[in-house]
Amino acid sequence: MAQTRTANDVAVGSRESFGSKTAGHFKRNRIAWGFGALVLAVGAGLRLYMGMMAFSTGTDYYAPEFQTYWMPLLYGEIIVLTLFTVAVSVYMWMTRETDASKIGPELELSRYWKLLGIFTVMGLWAATVAITSVESDAAWHQVTIRDTDFTPTHIIIFYFSLPFLTAMLIPTFIWAHTRLPAYMNKVSLPFLAVVVGILMIMPNYGFNEWGHTFFYAEELFAAPIHWGFVLLGWSLFFFVPLVVQLFTYMGRSIAQVTALRTRQMV
């Protein structure tokens, strides 16, 4: 006996389908969503702390208040980032896969989506740094006495925000080159250029502080001590060939998965 579906049945089915798809999306991308929410919370917390404490306790490195409210934050950032980078990188290497032939097209494709999710989180963090920190650093140097050994804006930007990108990139580089067949047993030059470029910004911090302490009392944006930030920051342009490379591999995987599912249906 044929059954007739009412409009209400269709609406209920559509809602269930939408709900199940939404739940499936969040389940598949829970790492990206959870990590993205975490980095946004960390960025907001640091920005609020700087807004509340920078001018009241952060204008003089040699003041007791600076040692109380800012130096523990600096030490904590360095310890947390170091432990995070080392621990996650070692875990990624110790749990690596050695046989690429055991990774099927569907699993490979799902891992490409995970990699895109991590890149999205990195982009979210980079935008957060640019919006909430970089311009505030420039403004800080224009309105306060320049320059003690450490400043609140530098403690947040130079010793956490930018190094955090490296802390995410290094484990991701290891993960991609030990889980994705297209990257295993070889090195992606665009990927490597992004990692090395951001990593090498950190030695320029010391050069920047040395120059400002002895030669540049004012924050001159075109000063030679800033050229390294620009040159090394250009490494982010390598994300363009990296994404092209990634999409090429994903297109190949999608074709393989589609062909496999078509054969299964037949």
Task: Give, for all 266 residues of the chain, the pLDDT tens digit.
Answer: 444 445 454 444 445 565 676 666 566 667 777 888 888 888 889 889 988 998 889 888 888 999 999 999 999 999 999 999 999 999 999 999 888 888 888 899 889 998 988 898 888 888 888 777 777 877 787 777 655 668 888 899 888 988 998 999 999 999 999 999 999 988 999 999 999 888 887 788 778 777 777 776 566 667 777 777 777 778 888 888 999 999 999 999 889 888 888 887 76
pLDDT at position 10 is: 43
Using a 10 angstrom Cβ sphere, with 0-12 exposed, 13-18 middle and 19 or more buried, the burial of residue 53 is middle
Domain assignments of the chain as residue spans, ordered by start: 31-265
* Helix-helix angle 189-199:162-179, to 10 degrees: 160
Contacts of 227 (CB under 8 A, 6+ apart): none
Reading the block at residue 74, the tokens are: 């600096």
pTM > 0.85: yes or no? no
The answer to whether residues 198 and 162 touch, using CB atoms and an 8 Å cutoff, is: yes
The pLDDT, as a whole number, for residue 216 is 63
What residues have CB less than 8 Å from 156, skipping those under 6 apart?
Answer: 46, 47, 50, 73, 133
Cβ–Cβ under 8 Å, residues 225 and 216: yes
C-alpha pair distances (Å), 205 with each of 150, 157, 200, 201, 256: 11, 10, 10, 7, 47
Q: Are 117 and 246 in contact (CB under 8 A)?
A: no
Residue 67 confidence (pLDDT): 92
Look at residue 217 in the predicted model and tell me its pLDDT: 59
Q: How many whole angstroms separate alpha carbon 130 and alpha carbon 18?
A: 36
The CATH architecture one would assign to domain 31-265 is: Up-down Bundle (1.20)
Q: Report pLDDT for 71.
A: 94
| pLDDT score at 146 | 57
The SS3 assignment for 87 reads: helix
